[in-house]
Amino acid sequence: MTAKIIVKCIIYNPKLNRFLLIKRCKNDDIGADSWENAGGNIESGETPEDAVMREIQEETGITDIRIGNIAYVAVLERELPDLLIVYLCETPTEAVKLSFEHQEYVWADEQQCRSLLPKAIVRDFEKNSIFDILHRMEK
């Protein structure tokens, strides 16, 4: 059994106190028309951090990014399970230039995250205290 390692990036903008969510294209093979965080597969020879930088740049056009700690690790139950490494990232950039893989973006507060993201991602955010980042800045 071979598992893929996938990186995902919770991109936080402290000035906006929001997370960046991007919406997959309607004709995508996996997750069509669903909201997600930037990310993707680690390519041969890449470190997870290299993949984070590449995926963020490819999917959002953002190059001014600081990779923080790993937020959490999860296993995606598929035909072959995939290992998901989710990083906390920060950027002062507000402008987003989407790739062909995505059709919309939003800088989302907690309520928007809860309504747009799939339930499994919201549960992971809750379990790993991701929304606490937004609450720290409100004080």
- Residue 4's pLDDT is what? 86
Pick 1 or 16 by higher pLDDT.
16
- Which of 88, 58, 49 has its CA nearest to residue 70? 88
φ, ψ for residue 123, nearest 5 deg: -60, -40
For residue 138, name the pLDDT band (cuts at 50, 70, 90): low
Tokens representing 70? 């790993």
Its pTM stands at 0.92
pLDDT, one tens digit per residue, over 2-26 is: 778 999 999 999 999 999 999 999 9
For residue 1, name the pLDDT band (cuts at 50, 70, 90): low
Other Cβ atoms within 10 Å of 29 Cβ, number: 7
CB 133 within 8 A of CB 12: yes
pLDDT, one tens digit per residue, over 71-113 is: 999 887 777 788 999 999 999 999 999 999 999 999 999 999 9
Parallel, antiparallel or unpaired: strands 18-24 and 102-108:
antiparallel
Q: How does DSSP assign 5-70, residue by residue?
A: EEEEEEEEETTTTEEEEEEE-TT-SSSTT-EE-EEEEPPTT--HHHHHHHHHHHHH-----EEEEE
Domain boundaries, the chain: 5-138
The reply to whether CATH 3.90.1150.10 applies to domain 5-138 is no
For residue 137, name the pLDDT band (cuts at 50, 70, 90): low
Tokens representing 39? 């990310």
Give me the count of residues in the chain.
139
pLDDT, one tens digit per residue, over 20-58 is: 999 999 988 878 889 999 999 999 999 999 999 999 999
